[in-house]
C-alpha cells in the first residue's frame, strides 16, 4: 500500500477501513491537525485505490482549510455577523 506523499501530510495519514455490506467506508485522518474525511466505495475496488482516493480527498480538504484561513485574514475587522 503506497499512500501518495504530499507536503501537507509530512507524517502521512491514518487510514481506517470499515466494510458495510457491499460497501467500504474509508476514513483518512491527518495526525497533525486531526482533520478527517471519509469516502465510500465498492468492496470490488482494491484497498490501495480506496486509500489513495481518501488521501487525495484529505489533501483537498487541508488545502481548502488553508485557503479559508488565508481569506479570513484579508478581511477587515469582524462584524456582528462574524461572531
Answer yes or no: is 79 within a domain.
no
- Per the structure, the count of domains in the chain is 1
Residue 19: pLDDT above 90? yes
DSSP codes of every residue in 46-76? -HHHHHHHHHHHHHHHHHHHHHHHHHHHHS-
Query: What pLDDT, on the 0 to 100 scale, is given for residue 63?
Result: 92
- Give percent of the chain with pLDDT exceeding 90: 59
Tell me whether residue 76 is in a domain. Answer: no
Digit-coded pLDDT (tens) for 48-80: 999 999 999 999 999 999 888 877 665 655 556
Cα three-residue angle 60-30-43, rounded to 5 degrees: 75
* Owning domain of residue 22: 1-70
Is 3 part of any domain? yes
Average pLDDT, the chain: 85
Q: Is residue 35 part of a domain?
A: yes
Q: Is residue 82 part of a domain?
A: no
In a domain, 47, yes or no: yes
The answer to the question of residue 11 being in a domain is yes
Of 72, 62, 53, the C-alpha closest to 35 is: 62
Amino acid at each position: 500500500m503506497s499512500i501518495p506523499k504530499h507536503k501537507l501530510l509530512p507524517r502521512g495519514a491514518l487510514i481506517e477501513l470499515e466494510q458495510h455490506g457491499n460497501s467500504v467506508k474509508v476514513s483518512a485522518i491527518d495526525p497533525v491537525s486531526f482533520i478527517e474525511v471519509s469516502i465510500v466505495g465498492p468492496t470490488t475496488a482494491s484497498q490501495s485505490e480506496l486509500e489513495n482516493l481518501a488521501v487525495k480527498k484529505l489533501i483537498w480538504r487541508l488545502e481548502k482549510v488553508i485557503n479559508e484561513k488565508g481569506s479570513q485574514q484579508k478581511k477587515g475587522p469582524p462584524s456582528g455577523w462574524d461572531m
